[in-house]
Homo-oligomer: A and B are copies of this chain.
Amino acid sequence: MFNTRTKSRRPLQRTQPVVRTAVSRVSADGMGCVPSNGDENLYLYRYEQKVKQAFANIESCLKRISGLQHTEDFISRSQLVAREQLGFDLPEALLADSWIKSVDIGQLYVWCVFETFRRFSDEFFVDQPLAGLEDESFQTFVGKCGFHTVDVSPCADGRLAHVIRYVLRLPYKSVRRKSYAGAMFDIDDSLQKWVETEMLRYRESRPNSSDAATRYLKVAVYHYSSSAPGVEGCAAHGSDAVKSAEGALSRLRAFQQGVENTFCCGASIDLLLIGVDTDNDVIRIHLPDVGGDIDSLSYVDCNDIYEATVNAGRSDEAIYDFIKQVAQKQRVAPTEGMLRFITKLFHNNILQVNYVREYYNGRYKDIGHQECFIGMGIGFEEIQLRNLTYFAYLKTVEEGAKDLDVGIKIFSGLNVSRGLPIPVIIRNDYHGQVPGARERAVNRCHQLDAALKHRFKSLYDEGMLHTLMMVRDCNADSCVETVGCSLPLDQ
Query: Is A202 a contact of B192 with CB atoms below 8 Å?
Result: no
Query: Is B253 a contact of A435 with CB atoms below 8 Å?
Result: yes
The segment from A357-365, A390-398, A465-473 found at the interface with B is A390-398
Query: Is A436 a contact of B203 with CB atoms below 8 Å?
Result: no
A202→B197 CA distance, assembly (Å): 12
* Complex contacts, A265 vs chain B, CB 8 Å: 203-204
State whether the Cβ of A199 lies closer than 8 Å to any Cβ in chain B: yes
CB-contact partner of A435 in B254, B401, B440, under 8 A: B254
Query: Is B203 a contact of A434 with CB atoms below 8 Å?
Result: no
State whether the Cβ of A243 lies closer than 8 Å to any Cβ in chain B: no
Query: Is B258 a contact of A455 with CB atoms below 8 Å?
Result: no
State whether the Cβ of A412 lies closer than 8 Å to any Cβ in chain B: no
Query: Is A398 a contact of B254 with CB atoms below 8 Å?
Result: no
* Complex contacts, A192 vs chain B, CB 8 Å: 192, 196
* Complex contacts, A399 vs chain B, CB 8 Å: 395-396, 447
Most buried by B among A257, A261, A262: A261
Number of chain A residues close to chain B: CB under 8 A? 41
Interface residues of A in 382-422 (CB under 8 A from B): 395-399, 401, 405
Q: Name the distance in Å between A210's Cβ and chain B's nearest Cβ.
A: 7
Query: Is A261 a contact of B396 with CB atoms below 8 Å?
Result: no
Query: Is B396 a contact of A436 with CB atoms below 8 Å?
Result: no
The verdict on A254 contacting B455 (CB below 8 Å), with A203-B265, A447-B398 known, is no
State whether the Cβ of A118 lies closer than 8 Å to any Cβ in chain B: no
State whether the Cβ of A330 lies closer than 8 Å to any Cβ in chain B: no
* Complex contacts, A405 vs chain B, CB 8 Å: 1
* Complex contacts, A395 vs chain B, CB 8 Å: 396, 399
Q: Name the distance in Å between A154's Cβ and chain B's nearest Cβ.
A: 20
* Complex contacts, A204 vs chain B, CB 8 Å: 263-265
Q: Name the distance in Å between A462's Cβ and chain B's nearest Cβ.
A: 16
Query: Is A258 a contact of B434 with CB atoms below 8 Å?
Result: yes
A176→B459 CA distance, assembly (Å): 44
A367→B210 CA distance, assembly (Å): 53
* Complex contacts, A191 vs chain B, CB 8 Å: 434
Query: Is A258 a contact of B398 with CB atoms below 8 Å?
Result: no
Q: Mark A237-262, 1 if CB is under 8 A from B, else 0.
A: 00000000000000001100110011
State whether the Cβ of A157 lies closer than 8 Å to any Cβ in chain B: no
A199→B196 CA distance, assembly (Å): 7
CB-contact partner of A436 in B187, B199, B263, B267, under 8 A: B187
The verdict on A455 contacting B1 (CB below 8 Å), with A196-B195, A433-B258, A435-B257 known, is yes
State whether the Cβ of A314 lies closer than 8 Å to any Cβ in chain B: no
* Complex contacts, A455 vs chain B, CB 8 Å: 1
CB-contact partner of A199 in B202, B261, B397, under 8 A: B202
State whether the Cβ of A451 lies closer than 8 Å to any Cβ in chain B: yes
State whether the Cβ of A198 lies closer than 8 Å to any Cβ in chain B: yes
* Complex contacts, A431 vs chain B, CB 8 Å: 262
A253→B401 CA distance, assembly (Å): 35
Q: Which residue of B lies closest to A435 (CB)?
A: B254
Q: Which residue of B lies closest to A431 (CB)?
A: B262
Q: Name the distance in Å between A456's Cβ and chain B's nearest Cβ.
A: 8
* Complex contacts, A435 vs chain B, CB 8 Å: 187, 253-254, 257-258
A187→B187 CA distance, assembly (Å): 22
Query: Is B436 a contact of A254 with CB atoms below 8 Å?
Result: yes
A331→B408 CA distance, assembly (Å): 61
Q: Mark A260-274, 1 if CB is under 8 A from B, else 0.
A: 011111010000000
* Complex contacts, A397 vs chain B, CB 8 Å: 398
* Complex contacts, A447 vs chain B, CB 8 Å: 398-399
A455→B1 CA distance, assembly (Å): 7
Q: Mark A177-196, 1 if CB is under 8 A from B, else 0.
A: 00000000001100110011
Q: Name the distance in Å between A139's Cβ and chain B's nearest Cβ.
A: 19
* Complex contacts, A210 vs chain B, CB 8 Å: 202-203
Query: Is A434 a contact of B398 with CB atoms below 8 Å?
Result: no
Query: Is A434 a contact of B261 with CB atoms below 8 Å?
Result: yes
A-B contact list, 18 entries, CB within 8 Å: A1-B401, A187-B434, A187-B437, A187-B440, A192-B192, A195-B196, A196-B199, A198-B199, A198-B202, A202-B210, A203-B263, A203-B267, A204-B263, A253-B435, A254-B436, A257-B434, A258-B437, A396-B399
- Known contacts A195-B199, A254-B434, A262-B434; 14 further A-B pairs (Cβ under 8 A): A1-B455, A187-B434, A187-B435, A195-B195, A196-B199, A198-B202, A198-B203, A203-B210, A203-B265, A203-B267, A253-B435, A262-B431, A396-B398, A399-B447
Ranked nearest first, the 3 interchain pairs of A and B with the lowest CB-CB distance are A261-B433, A202-B202, A258-B434
